[in-house]
Amino acid sequence: MLPVIFGCAGLKLTAEERRFFAQTNPAGFILFARNCESPRQIRALTGEMRDVTGREQLAILIDQEGGRVTRLGSPHWRNPPAAGVFGEIYARDKAAAERLAYLNSLLIAADLRSLGITVDCLPVLDIPAVGADPVIGDRAYGCDPESAAVLGGSAMAGLLDGGCLPVIKHIPGHGRANVDSHLRLPVTGSNLQTLSEWDFAPFRALASAPFAMTAHMVYSTVDKENCATFSPAVIQDVIRGNIGFSGILMSDDLSMGALGGNYEARARRAIDAGCDLILHCNGKMDEMTAIAEALTPVLPELAEKLALYLATSGGAPTIDRDAVKADYQSFMTKAE
């Protein structure tokens, strides 16, 4: 098994993709809107992914945050609100906001598990700074460590109770990004004490999460040369040390504009820096081939940890969706 999460091009695997994935045996897959048409189609696609890897317990990811970042929407699925909605409610009714964040994620998990999806790239624990690029914006639960940690924790609990594994992102904190990392590399010169007390704090509070995703961002007071994804200092001293995260660390998408170098170099740099898994999302075969050639199989310890997380998440729990939706709507009505 190679330490990589790959995307695919369309609504089903092509013959070329089936051969490639069978040969490379990636650790998992990630779905985007281009891969999602209907419940039946997605169940068939996730079934193909399990078949081609020979693993029933398989990490199949999606970014179903709500708001701007929603891969599954109407008419087949509910459209979850952006995390910022819960942050606004938290400012006036903390208990209601916590309950709503939990129920919202429980409903998301039910949708995902019914489709064979096992991992949601949620919650976003970044804290947007004044004047920062709007790439995070209302994807965040709030503008302070408390709201991010509390509501992010509620969202994480809802996913876990729904049988879906969460991913805390973008560790160690993307809220000070001065540019969109999809396009260019952001840099922050904030001092380490400020970062530790503010940006790192929500991640520290939820360091027990099974997965975390790195930020393609330079923290110049820790490492002037490398973004977190490529920085041994950030990963070892901050993410593993200061924050105390001991789960599986994956990179953000290696095809993002923040990164330079060819794909072999990007893959090697991320793994050498301390990422357990790398993420490549766009489904382009030439890029995936280059990445696969740069990687060596995962160590047994990582394979065992991944298998344990997937096994303990269980099957798709049976929940009374109508009752959960009614509970959610009741709290939302009271909070509005």
Strand 2-6 and strand 26-31: the pairing is parallel
Dihedral pair phi/psi, residue 77, rounded to 5°: -135, 160
- Average pLDDT of the residues in 20-30: 98
Instruction: Determine the distance from the C-alpha atom of residue 235 to the mean position of all C-alpha atoms in its chain, rounded to a whole number.
Output: 17
pLDDT surpassing 90 at residue 319 = no
pLDDT band for position 336 (cuts 50, 70, 90): confident
How many CB atoms sit inside 10 A of residue 204's CB?
A: 16
Mean pLDDT of the chain: 96
pLDDT surpassing 80 at residue 316 = no
Cα–Cα distance for residue pair 248/199, rounded to 1 Å: 20
pLDDT surpassing 70 at residue 320 = yes
Max Cα distance, the chain (Å): 55
Amino acid at 15: A
182 in catalytic set: yes
pLDDT surpassing 80 at residue 317 = no
Give residue-wise pLDDT tens across range 221-278: 999 999 999 999 999 999 999 999 999 999 999 999 999 999 999 999 999 999 999 9
Give residue-wise pLDDT tens across range 100-115: 999 999 999 999 999 9
Kindly state the tokens that stand for 229. Answer: 């994804």
The percent of residues above 70 in pLDDT, for the chain, comes to 99
243-253: burial string, b at 16+ Cβ within 10 Å, e else? bebebbbbbbb
The percent of residues above 90 in pLDDT, for the chain, comes to 94
pLDDT band for position 57 (cuts 50, 70, 90): very high
Domains parsed from the chain with CATH numbers: 2-335 (3.20.20.300)
Which of 252, 253, 276, 280 is an active site residue? 252
- Average pLDDT of the residues in 144-152: 98
Residue 315 pLDDT: 67
pLDDT band for position 48 (cuts 50, 70, 90): very high
Cis peptide before 232 (omega within 30 of 0): no
Strand partners, 29: 6, 60
pLDDT surpassing 90 at residue 334 = no
pLDDT band for position 313 (cuts 50, 70, 90): confident
170 in catalytic set: no
